[in-house]
Amino acid sequence: MIPRYSRPEMAQVWSEQGKFEKWLEVEIAACEAWAEQGAIPQEDLEKIRHASFKLDDINRYMEITRHDVTAFLRSVADSLGEESRWVHLGLTSSDVWDTATGLQIREAAEILGSVGIVLNSNPIPMTCSLEEISATPNLKQKTSGKPLPLSRTETRTPDASVSILIST
């Protein structure tokens, strides 16, 4: 974002800080889904919900790992103890990146809507259901090559990947 052409709230959405905040939301939501399945102990989940990251650490780890998600995960692990082993369980880098980017797009669209900008003549509501998303071919998202499920309550085993939906 070019600062002089950006609203501060929009610049925040697309900033590095904003991106990693969304990544952390996705990681925590995945851990919550695993905990619902009994794969992550509740006491570990409570600690994970308070995880954080530091941009300086991510940048430092990037020079070592040359992988943005790995650098991010190392910084998050620094804020946790042994429970950090659950973070990123069953996820790929693309799962985190793509889901978080979708959250950023939704937040940016909400900002545009709040200032009266219409994105197209037949918009899909920001509060649409998974069924509506699934019925819209260009909005189908994939997780590890499989379409998102229609509910968060699918039966999964701890060794299977977990698909999540973050809704407001």
Structure confidence by residue, pLDDT tens digits, 32-91? 999 999 999 999 999 999 999 999 999 999 999 999 999 999 999 999 999 999 999 999
Residues 6+ apart with CB under 8 A from 76: 24, 27, 51, 52, 53, 84, 87
Structure confidence by residue, pLDDT tens digits, 151-163? 444 333 444 433 3
Q: What's the Cα-to-Cα distance from 92 to each of 2, 80, 109, 123, 164, rounded to whole Å?
A: 31, 20, 26, 30, 13
pTM of structure = 0.70
What length is written for the chain? 168
